[in-house]
Structure 1
Amino acid sequence: MNRRAQAVTMLLLGGALLRATFADLHLRYVKEALGPFLIAAGAVLVAAGAMTLWYDLFGSKADAAADLPECADDGHSGEDGHGQRVHKEPRVGWMLLLPVLGLLLVSPPALGAYAAGQAGSALSTQQQSDFPALPPGDPIALNVSDYAARAVFDKGVSLQGRTVELTGFLAANPEGGQYLARMVLSCCAADGRPIKVGLAGDAPTGQADDRWVKITGVYNDRIGADPVNKSQIPYLQVTAWAPTEQPRNPYE
């Protein structure tokens, strides 16, 4: 891989990173808060690639030749068309094209029902209590993790007499019916774990796993156990539900 190829590779990698970030594709891989850092990294790669390419095309040939170190003939060097000694870069550099192709050609779905079924609920890692009162107005939109934490750790005190609205995807409940679930990330999709809420009352039936739904309901004091890690799983008494589109950011 010569200097020009290195420059083009940096341009492609930086451009792919910027495209993925501005098109919200990065939300399938990492937390939304990391977006500005990805933009900065992509911009640096594009700038470095552009400067390298400009210097290779228009820079002083004399300066370029003066910068070349003298090295022994170790099988990685040769002569260019002008008799100058040129050091050949290792071929492993071409591997940098793999993440470029991955970002440009592959668009994996967000973690869903299968991942939720393989991992135990992350609720057991939270240690919240003394939740503040919910703002006025019903129904109030809550994160699945917020409802689950209030239902388990606050015994539903802050949910009494309130109607809530949760958005998530459906996942199989081994005890019958389906969970409403949402994946939470600490950093990236590799550490994603589910938050699960059991559904009672007029819950969805006959729906496919991974179907995104918006559910309205009230607190139910039933507590189940996650079959994977025995964490507590709260329930919601469903009063109404409707299919919905996957949100811009599928993770919490």
Structure 2
Amino acid sequence: MGLPHEESSHMAKPQTRSDDLTLIRAERLSAGYGSNLAIRDIDLEIRRGEVVALFGPNGAGKTTTLLTLGGELRAATGRVVWNNSGKWEPLHRRARQGFAFVPEDGAVFGGLTAHQNLMVARRAERDSAMHVFPELRDLLHRRGGLLSGGEQRMLAVGRAIGGPTRLLVADELSLGLAPRTVGVILKAIRAAAERGLGALIVEQHVHRALGFVDRVYVMQRGRITLDMTAAEARKNIDEIQAQYLTAEAPAGITANGNNVEPTEGGGA
């Protein structure tokens, strides 16, 4: 099949499109915690109307990548270009410009009802969220902390894509969820992409995700090792999983900034 060796950063370049479709771009991006780099020389981009998956074993640097794209972490070197600007901005400012970040824990306020969680958005966005996930209508008066993991995820994603969001970035989208719920959420994101949303999702269920995404990045030890279309990934999935998605110990530091014995390439 001829997958690339690790020093080759791309398997196949996706078709080039006009730059006005690009929502966010990382250019030779390195970042981490203190003096420890967790990601190194990352190049990626997300365009309008596409869903992109970021795969990798635990400790590969996926969460650090998302946090740096969102402005929660500053780049050590390289840059993130968002909204046609390479200037760093914190996440709350990017959120006002259409950047929606759904972290691993879903960002649901446990002490508030589902309705109050949706009140963070404007009314049209709340209505849209319930249109995307009709299941939420029967849960509006239940506190967020009492919702199941899948219900919390639908609430967070529905709130994120129910409004004028341009880019959705979601970490560990299906962690701990039933397969049916994962399918519902992925279908909703795919439908939003058909309306122009761009999405970058970290996903552990590789086979399922490949049915909904357009392109794939694979990370290992803090670096992008594969960049390909979803069709190419489906054809080569067994070898990709064997070579690139096996468990690895975190190298350098973990995503919460704790030190571990460093090795070349970082990882978080």
TM range (shorter): under 0.3
Which TM-score applies when normalising by structure 2?
0.19
Structure with more helix by fraction? 1
Using CA pairs under 8 Å that are at least 6 residues apart, name the structure with larger relative contact order, 1 or 2: 2
